[in-house]
Structure 1
C-alpha cells in the first residue's frame, strides 16, 4: 500500500470491523520488529546531528519544500523549482541514508533483508527503524538534515543541460501535501503558491509532454487503496492523482533518468529496466482500440493514444487494461565495466529512457546504493569496493521485495473488497468489462476489480451476478449468463 494510506493515530485506536491485516503479515512473513543491535545502531546515528564539512556543503539557504500525502512521515525528497535564464533550475534534495547506514553493519544487513517498506492499511513495516525513517533521516521541516542534493538545469523545453550533485545540509521550509498545493495552483492568487515551487506549474507540464513524446506508457488505471471508513471499519477508495502529483513525479523521473545517464556514461551502476513494448503487443493493442471504437491516428504511438483517452469511460478503461501487455519484464540490471557490461537494452519501456532508482532511499533499499554510485562518479573519487561488491547482489534482493510488496498490497485490497461485498453475494450488479478472456470486470462503487466468467464484451457495461466474496481469502468473482450478454450495452 502506498504512503497515501498511512492511517491517522485516532483511526488506529478504534476497533476495526472487516478484514484484519495481521493475517497478511503472517502469510508473507513480514518482520514484526527490528533486532536489538539494529535499534542500537539506529539510536546511535540518530544522535549525531548533520553539519557542513569538507564533504558536505551548507545548502540551508536554498528554498525547498516537501510534497507528500497527509500523514506521511518518511519524507524522501524536498523540492525547489525556479526559473532561470533560458530555462529552469531544479533543486532536488534526497534523504542521505548513506550518511547513517554503515556498510556491512547490523542496520545494513537488516535493510538488505527487508528490501523495502511494506505498506498496510493499519501501519507500515518500515525498511529502516522509525527513529531514522520518521526522524533524523526524514526531510521534515524541523531542522537541518543531511541530503544528497541534485541541481538540474534545463533548457526552455525542460530538457536537462547541466547537472551537479553533492552531499549537503538542507532545511525544508514547509511540509506540504498534494491537495493543498493543487489548491494553491488553482487559486487566482499567485502569491499562495510557495516560492520554492514557483516554476513547478510550468516545468511539470513540459516534462509530461516530453514523456509522451519519448513514448512513456502511462496507464492511469484506477488505483485502489484501503482507508478507514469513518465507522470503525475499512473501505476501498480510488486514488485520484492531482496535476501537482503528476508534476512532482516527473521531477523524480527526471532525476532518475539523469542518474541513469551518469551510470551508463561511466560504465557502472544499477538500472531499473523494462523492455520496450513488443511490436506484436502494440499491433494487438491497435486491434483492441479498433474493436473498442478508439481512433488510432496514422503515425501515433501507443503513448500518445493512451494520453488522449478520457478518464473513467468504459471503453477507455478497457483499452488501458489491455495496454498492460506493453509493460512486461521489469527488472534490475547491475553493471561494472567490461567484465559486466550494461544490458543491450538499458531502457525502461514505461518511461521511454534509461532510468535508475535514486529518489526514495527511506522506503527502497536500492536507492541508497544508486545515490552512492552517482556521488562517487560526480566527485571523481571512484566507486568504493564495498559498493562494487554490493551492486550485483541487489537485483535479486529488489526483485524478491518488489514481488512481496505487490502481493501484500493486493492481499489487503482483496480482503477489504471481499468484506465490503460479502453480504451482497447473489445480487446482480452493473460493472465495466475490462477484458473478456480471462474475464475481468470493474465495479465502480465500491471500486472492485475481479474475475468474471461467462460471455463478456470489453469496454461495455454489463449486469453480472456476484457469486463469491470471501474476506478470509480475498476471493471475489462474478458470473455473466447468456441473458446477461444480451443486455450488455455500449457506452457513449
Structure 2
C-alpha cells in the first residue's frame, strides 16, 4: 500500500541538526579504515566453495549477512556468514572509539550516517557478490523440525555468489525458481515460525510507515512485507538464539532481553478483545492469538496496537561470570543475542568475538571483556536516538505532505481510543499517516476525521473526530 501524495522541499538536514548527527569521521579514524587489513588472515579456513547469497533491500551496500541453506535427509544445515568487522577495526584505536560514540548506523530517507566509514561498511568489509571477504561463519545443524542440534562459529574466507532483494526472492519463490542456495528457505521459514509460536513468541504486525523518494519530492508509504522477510528474519533469529546459548554456557556475553508481559497488560488486551468480539480461548497464548488474526482488518489493527504494551522494557544485559537475572527475550520466547549486523550495530562485533572464543575453546579476548560492561548503556542510548530520528523523519514528512490540506476529511481506522493517559490514535491509509486524534473517536471503527493541524516546524499532525 502506498500513496502518490508527495511533498517537495523536505529538509531532513534539519533532523540531523536537531539530533546533532554528523556523517563526518575524524581523520585518524578514516586513516585507520583506509589502511585496514585482516588481522586474522592466518587463522581463516577457505570456504569460498560455499555458494552463499545475500538478501537485502535493493539499495543496500552494507551487506552484513550471507546465507546458504541445505535440506538434508535428517533436517537442515545453515551456513550464515557475518561480516568480520573485528578483523578490520583495531581494538583501542581511533576508529574503535568513534564507533563506540556512534553506536549504530542511523538511516534517514536521504542517506545514512554509517557506524563505520563507507570504505569498510560498503566496500572492504561488506559481503558484496563476487568478492572474497573475511567472515565469522556460523554452521548450524537442525533436525526435521528445524530445531538446532549443534552449532558454532569460526573465522573463514567467503564469497557471495549472488545478491537478492526481498521482492525478487518472493517472486522466485512464488514461481518455484529459488536459487539452489535458498531453495529450502520456505520450508525452513515455516518450521521456524511454527517453533516461534510453540515458544510463546509474540510478533506484532502493524502498519510500518516509511518515507519514499518520489521524483523531486517525498511521499509516505506502508513498508511492504513478504513471506521472505519473515523467513529470512528467522535465519538471523536462529543465529542469535544459538549465540545466546553459547554465551550462557560459557558465562560471558551480552544478551538482548525483554521481560515477560505483565498480567495487567495481558488482561487489558483481553478486555480489548472482548470489546471487539474477538474470540480468545483461555488456553490460547497471546502470540498464537495474534498470529491467527485476519490481516489488515480494523479489529486486528486495534489488537496489534494494544499488544505493543506487552513488549515493553527491552534492554541489554552484559555478564562475565554470573548470568543476569533475566536472560530471556519474551518477544522471541528464548534467550537471544545480537550477532548478525556488525557493520550497522556496535554490540554485534563484541558478541561475535565471545562466540568465536567459546566455539574455539579459547579465552575471550581482554579487549572484549573490557568493553562488555559498557555496551548496555551505549546501545540503549543509540537505540533511543535511532528511534527518535526515525520518528522525526516520518513526522516531518507527514506534516509536509498534509500542510496544505488542513480542514479536509480523511477515512481512518481508530487504532486506540482515548483514555485518561493518552489521546486517541488513528491510521489514515492515504496518505499513510498514524497520528493523534481529538474528539474521543470509538476504538476499532472506520470513520471520517478532519485534519485539524499539520505543523511542519513542530513536525506535528493532529486529526479531529466530529461526532
Bin of the TM-score, shorter chain as denominator length: over 0.9
Q: Is the 8 A contact 2:152 2:355 kept in 1?
A: no
Shift of 1:121: 0.5
Q: Is the 8 A contact 1:217 1:302 kept in 2?
A: yes
Aligned counterparts of 1:219 and 1:101: Cα–Cα separation in 2? 36
Shift of 1:227: 0.7
**Residues 112-127 of structure 1 aligned to structure 2 (within 5 Å):** 112-127=100-115
1:154 corresponds to which residue? 142
Aligned counterparts of 1:358 and 1:313: Cα–Cα separation in 2? 35
Query: CA 1:98/1:465 → structure 2, altered by over 3 Å: closer, same or farther?
Result: same
Q: Is the 8 A contact 1:81 1:91 kept in 2?
A: yes
Give the structure-1-normalised TM-score.
0.91
**Residues 87-98 of structure 1 aligned to structure 2 (within 5 Å):** 87-98=75-86
2:3 corresponds to which residue? none
RMSD: 1.2
2:369 corresponds to which residue? 388
1:363 corresponds to which residue? 344
Matched, 1:37 2:21: no
**Residues 310-389 of structure 1 aligned to structure 2 (within 5 Å):** 310-337=294-321, 341-389=322-370
Matched, 1:300 2:284: yes
Q: Cα deviations across residues 424-469 of structure 1 (Å, max 9, x unaligned)?
A: 1011222100111221111011110100111221111121211100
**Residues 60-459 of structure 1 aligned to structure 2 (within 5 Å):** 60-187=48-175, 190=176, 192-230=177-215, 232-337=216-321, 341-437=322-418, 438-459=423-444
Q: Is the 8 A contact 1:75 1:139 kept in 2?
A: yes
Aligned counterparts of 1:455 and 1:475: Cα–Cα separation in 2? 19
Give the structure-2-normalised TM-score.
0.96
Matched, 1:17 2:8: yes
Q: Secondary structure at the match of 2:323?
A: coil
Aligned counterparts of 1:260 and 1:185: Cα–Cα separation in 2? 31
Q: Secondary structure at the match of 2:29?
A: helix
Q: Cα deviations across residues 389-420 of structure 1 (Å, max 9, x unaligned)?
A: 10000000000000000000000001101111
Q: Secondary structure at the match of 1:257?
A: helix
Count of aligned pairs: 457
Give the ranges of 4+ consecutive aligned residues of structure 1 lying more than 2 Å apart after TM superposition. 48-53
Shift of 1:279: 1.7
Listed as ranges, the gaps of 5+ residues in structure 2 are 1-6
Q: Secondary structure at the match of 2:264?
A: helix
Shift of 1:278: 1.2
Query: CA 1:312/1:402 → structure 2, altered by over 3 Å: closer, same or farther?
Result: same
Shift of 1:345: 2.0
Shift of 1:51: 8.7
Aligned counterparts of 1:324 and 1:298: Cα–Cα separation in 2? 20
Shift of 1:17: 1.5
Q: Secondary structure at the match of 1:347?
A: coil
Listed as ranges, the gaps of 5+ residues in structure 1 are 1-15, 485-492
Aligned counterparts of 2:136 and 2:35: Cα–Cα separation in 1? 21
Aligned counterparts of 1:160 and 1:66: Cα–Cα separation in 2? 22
Aligned counterparts of 1:335 and 1:182: Cα–Cα separation in 2? 40
2:47 corresponds to which residue? 59
